[in-house]
A and B are shown apart, each in its own frame.
Chain A
């Protein structure tokens, strides 16, 4: 299977600071990556679609100026939570799309637990 990593796995920050989360596809190139958020006891919510070399596409209700996404290479996408507040505390998960002749499948990272104090 394909491997996707995230860094850091856990971060605690003060209110008002910015936090950057990295998502890497380790053994394949991904032109498209996705960012999800998951609150306790809830399902994953898609936040945005990240395309290499172009602007991200945000889902309705997600503030693009608060959640900055950069997809600078075929193996790296970053999510920056700007001016974080306690309500931004959540589990952030990325996925990378692997496409070949037989498959068109998303592989997920292990997630990043963000706690904003």
Chain B
């Protein structure tokens, strides 16, 4: 699976949009971009995933560049409860296993 690069940490003011970038320049055509987050001492939580089109759900929006070499996760109105480590992971679907390989992620600190 392709590697991803994320900034180690980011700050965001409460109520503002949080934009978390991810570089995945070696992504291949059948690999999806997945985002998870992990609040301290809890299991990771699925946020969103996409292939090439932008995606939106009740939690966030995912913007994938046209060349698919990078993406941005957008939390439209960050709250203090969004403080967590956010992981961007690329992997293919439908293989014999669909294991996720976690990198170091981005620690998002939402400030009051």
Residues 9-43 of chain B, each 1 if its beta carbon lies under 8 Å from chain A, else 0:
00000000000000000000000001010100111
Q: Check: A82 CB closer than 8 A to any chain B CB.
A: no
Q: Check: A77 CB closer than 8 A to any chain B CB.
A: no
Taking CB atoms and an 8 Å cut-off, the chain B residues in 65-112 that contact chain A are: 87, 93-94, 97-105
- Shortest CB–CB separation between residue A51 and chain B, in angstroms? 8
- Shortest CB–CB separation between residue A32 and chain B, in angstroms? 7
Contact between chains at A93 and B99 (CB < 8 Å): no
A-B interface pairs (CB < 8 A), number:
53
What does DSSP make chain A's interface, helix, strand, loop or mixed?
strand
Which B residues are within 8 Å of any A CB, using their own CB?
34, 36, 38, 41-46, 49, 87, 93-94, 97-105
10 A-B pairs within 8 Å (CB atoms) are namely A32-B97, A34-B99, A43-B102, A95-B43, A95-B100, A97-B98, A104-B94, A106-B98, A108-B43, A108-B44
Which A residues are within 8 Å of any B CB, using their own CB?
1, 4, 6, 32, 34, 36, 43-46, 49, 57, 91, 93, 95, 97, 104-111, 113
